[in-house]
Amino acid sequence: MDHRTPNLIDPAAARRGFSWTAARDELTGLPDGGLNVAYEAVSRHAAGPRAHAEALRFVRADGRRHSVSYRQLDDRMRRFAARLRSIGVGKGDVVCTLLGRQPELYVAALGALARGAVFCPLFAALGPEPVEARLARGHARVLVTTERAYRTKVAPARERLPDLRHIVLVDDETSWSAFQADPSAGDEIEGTSADDPALLHFTSGTTGAAKGALHGHAVVIAHHTTGRWVLDLRPCDVFWCTADPGWVTGTCYGIIAPLVCGATLLVDEGGFEPRRWYSVLRDESVTVWYTAPTAIRMLMKAGPDLLPTGGFPKLRHVASVGEPLNAEAVQWGAEALGRPVHDTWWQTETGAICIANLPAEPLVPGSMGRPIPGIEAAIARREGAHLIIEDAPDSEGLLVLRAPWPSMFRTYVYDEARYRKCFADGWYITGDRARRDAEGRFWFVGRQDDLIKSSGHLIGPCEVERTLMAHPAVVDAGVIGKPDPVAGEIVKAFVELHAGVTPDESLRRDILAYARRRLGPAVAPKELKLTDALPRNRSGKILRRVLKAQEVEQGDVG
Ligand code: 6R9
């Protein structure tokens, strides 16, 4: 077959004839009829013709490479699982990682899933406050991290985390090797069912602390389907997902989907640097690339001089997720990379890509594309407790999805009431606003709530405001996303001081540094303004919308 012919040739026919039951049958399944993500992602390849194929390829910051075959990965994850078993960690227990893109993270994630535990990644750039909040909320039992991250972010809170029994330090020889010492042979893949919990992803809420969206092992059905049909993955591919594995994209498409599809997952341990990224794309012969609009815009900004001569002859497909993809970025991909960027849409709660520009469908820049086979999407408006579906083309409203599908979240942990509020009349309400055109394509309009999307990371204003208010000089704070041409939005804080406190530059800097120390660089405000009075409604609630409108107006003028 011509390697440019997409896996899914006729999406319209696939939509008509699709069933999730048939999609599940494409996976191997456990001998007793169960389903386990780690088994589908690794073990079934380790036992077949792909046993010695490259599962993971790490490109270290200094350019050296290190490869792990499916057989080796299977052995390492089973050893990790066996150790979890021997220390009494079982089905449903939460295993967190607080790590960068390093080999141990992949072993721990898959090992936890093989054990039947719930894998919960925490982004390494989170500060001590969000880390503690997530460990507490998830009742984490095991944390896999580095000595430094443990000492600075977790140790001070340890007394408040009674459920956290085991700390595995990957850079402490004794600690990590204990998790690789138990023999791997035997029955270490737990007999999980499709409904047993597998993944816990924290996502920001508009009010209160982060919410823990819980997914079952059934997610792997959607990862397999979307991996093949949306990202066009096949076993010969070298796939690079630039999302950090501390977030949902970095787990679902930066670990699970490419392995389930039998591809080689490339992991770049270095940071963003345009020249380096181009050389990874070219020298590692990346065939499928999944990235974010912010990253594309950063490459656009870096200019064409850095592009390698001869381009990227192996690159077959490029897609992005996380924020609106502007038409210029789609076009830039076609010119600079030789492949247009295909927008895809999904959320932590949906567990997998739901709307996408499929490789076989004509690409319309600026649109998120169409629902993938197996997903029904619509535009709706609320009427009391009900939803009215807007069928007229081009009407704008709430983006809703017909529930359920295999990767749909099963609950927000310890907050079932909040979970139930996300549904009405059999539809899941995404919190996004969108438009659907006459051809059935969806166009992103905006969020219904105050959540901030900065460089693809979802940030809850409440979490930031609460930390700012803990500063002794601050009486109240309002946090918004300020439009930014590269990052989409940046976190901007407006802070009201206690009476009698002098608002000067050194205090402003002190508050910024305070927030950064506690929240970490990924969540802390980039800009901060001291103000006499924040805009409030009659009951005293801060009007973030007013702050935002002021910012947008100023941005337009400037
Ligand atoms: C995977 C992920 C979800 C929110 C989502 C929406 C925004 C995602 C988008 C997009 C415009 C796209 N979003 N994809 N907006 N176009 N193609 O990002 O999950 O962190 O939970 O964020 O991101 O607002 O509701 P998550």
What are 118-154's pLDDT values in tens digits?
A: 999 999 999 999 999 999 999 999 999 999 999 999 9
State the pLDDT at residue 558: 39
State the pLDDT at residue 539: 81
What are residue 242's phi and psi, to 5 degrees? -85, -5
CATH superfamily of 451-554: ANL, C-terminal domain (3.30.300.30)
Residues forming beta bridges with residue 58, ordered by sequence position = 66, 267
Read off the amino acid at residue 168: V
State the pLDDT at residue 540: 82
Can you tell me the mean pLDDT for 79-90? 95
Query: With bands split at pLDDT 50, 70 and 90, how would you rate the model's confidence at 555?
Result: low
pLDDT tens digits for 169-213? 999 999 999 999 987 766 679 999 999 999 999 998 777 789 999
Query: Which residues does 424 contact at the CB level (< 8 Å), separation at least 6?
Result: 382, 385, 386, 387
pLDDT tens digits for 362-374? 999 999 999 999 9
Please tell me if the CB atom of residue 326 comes closer than 6 angstroms to any atom of ligand 1.
no
Please tell me if the CB atom of residue 203 comes closer than 6 angstroms to any atom of ligand 1.
yes
The proportion of the chain whose per-residue pLDDT surpasses 70, expressed as a percent, equals 98
Please tell me if the CB atom of residue 38 comes closer than 6 angstroms to any atom of ligand 1.
no
User: Rounded distance, CA 287 to CA 315, Å?
Assistant: 4
Mutate to test the pocket of ligand 1, among 345, 349, 447 (most ligand atoms within 8 A of CB): 345
Distance 486 CA to ligand 1 centre (A): 16
Can you tell me the mean pLDDT for 469-494? 95
Which ligand 1 atom sits closest to the C-alpha of 430?
Answer: 25
Please tell me if the CB atom of residue 225 comes closer than 6 angstroms to any atom of ligand 1.
no
State the pLDDT at residue 279: 96
Mutate to test the pocket of ligand 1, among 202, 211, 321 (most ligand atoms within 8 A of CB): 321
SS3 of residue 383 by DSSP = strand
Contact 88, 95 (CB under 8 A): no
pLDDT tens digits for 271-292? 899 999 999 999 999 999 999 9
Please tell me if the CB atom of residue 347 comes closer than 6 angstroms to any atom of ligand 1.
yes
Please tell me if the CB atom of residue 239 comes closer than 6 angstroms to any atom of ligand 1.
no
SS3 of residue 514 by DSSP = helix
Please tell me if the CB atom of residue 366 comes closer than 6 angstroms to any atom of ligand 1.
no
13-435 and 451-554: same fold?
Answer: no
Please tell me if the CB atom of residue 447 comes closer than 6 angstroms to any atom of ligand 1.
yes
Please tell me if the CB atom of residue 251 comes closer than 6 angstroms to any atom of ligand 1.
no
pLDDT tens digits for 41-64? 999 999 999 999 999 999 998 889
Query: With bands split at pLDDT 50, 70 and 90, how would you rate the model's confidence at 541?
Result: confident
Distance 407 CA to ligand 1 centre (A): 16
Which ligand 1 atom sits closest to the C-alpha of 453?
Answer: 23
Look at phi and psi of residue 88 and say left if phi exceeds 0, alpha if psi is from -120 to 50, else beta.
left
> In 196-253, where does DSSP find H-type helix?
219-229, 248-251
Query: With bands split at pLDDT 50, 70 and 90, how would you rate the model's confidence at 2?
Result: very low
Distance 130 CA to ligand 1 centre (A): 21
Burial 498-523 (b: 16+ CB within 10 A, else e): eeeeeeeeebbeebbebbbebbbebb
Please tell me if the CB atom of residue 237 comes closer than 6 angstroms to any atom of ligand 1.
no
What 8-state DSSP symbol labels residue 159?
Answer: G
State the pLDDT at residue 185: 66
Please tell me if the CB atom of residue 442 comes closer than 6 angstroms to any atom of ligand 1.
no
What are residue 502's phi and psi, to 5 degrees? -80, 125
User: Rounded distance, CA 538 to CA 241, Å?
Assistant: 47
Please tell me if the CB atom of residue 324 comes closer than 6 angstroms to any atom of ligand 1.
yes
State the pLDDT at residue 554: 76
- Closest-CA residue, ligand 1 atom 26, reads 347
Query: 85 pLDDT exceeds 90?
Result: yes
Domain boundaries, the chain: 13-435, 451-554
Can you tell me the mean pLDDT for 290-311? 96
pLDDT tens digits for 10-20? 999 999 999 99
Please tell me if the CB atom of residue 248 comes closer than 6 angstroms to any atom of ligand 1.
yes
Query: 155 pLDDT exceeds 70?
Result: yes
Candidate from 203-217, 382-396, 493-507 with smallest mean pLDDT: 203-217
Distance 444 CA to ligand 1 centre (A): 10
Q: What is the 3-state secondary structure (H, E, C) of 428-496?
A: EEEEEEEEECCCCCEEEEEECCCCEEECCEEECHHHHHHHHHCCCCEEEEEEEEEEECCCEEEEEEEEE
Candidate from 115-124, 398-407, 539-548 with smallest mean pLDDT: 539-548
Which ligand 1 atom sits closest to the C-alpha of 444?
Answer: 11
The proportion of the chain whose per-residue pLDDT surpasses 90, expressed as a percent, equals 92
DSSP letters for 90-156:
-TT-EEEEE--S-HHHHHHHHHHHHHTPEEEEE-TT--HHHHHHHHHHTT--EEEE-HHHIIIIIGG
User: Rounded distance, CA 218 to CA 383, Å?
Assistant: 33
Query: 3 pLDDT exceeds 60?
Result: no
Can you tell me the mean pLDDT for 282-307? 96
Query: 1 pLDDT exceeds 70?
Result: no
pLDDT tens digits for 393-403? 999 999 999 99
CATH code matching the domain that covers 13-435, chosen among 3.40.50.720, 3.40.50.12780, 3.40.50.450, 3.40.50.2300: 3.40.50.12780
Query: 557 pLDDT exceeds 60?
Result: no
State the pLDDT at residue 186: 63
- Closest-CA residue, ligand 1 atom 16, reads 324
User: Rounded distance, CA 259 to CA 114, Å?
Assistant: 14
Distance 249 CA to ligand 1 centre (A): 10
Can you tell me the mean pLDDT for 304-332? 96
- Share the mean pLDDT of the chain: 95
Burial 207-222 (b: 16+ CB within 10 A, else e): eebbbbbbbbbbbbbb
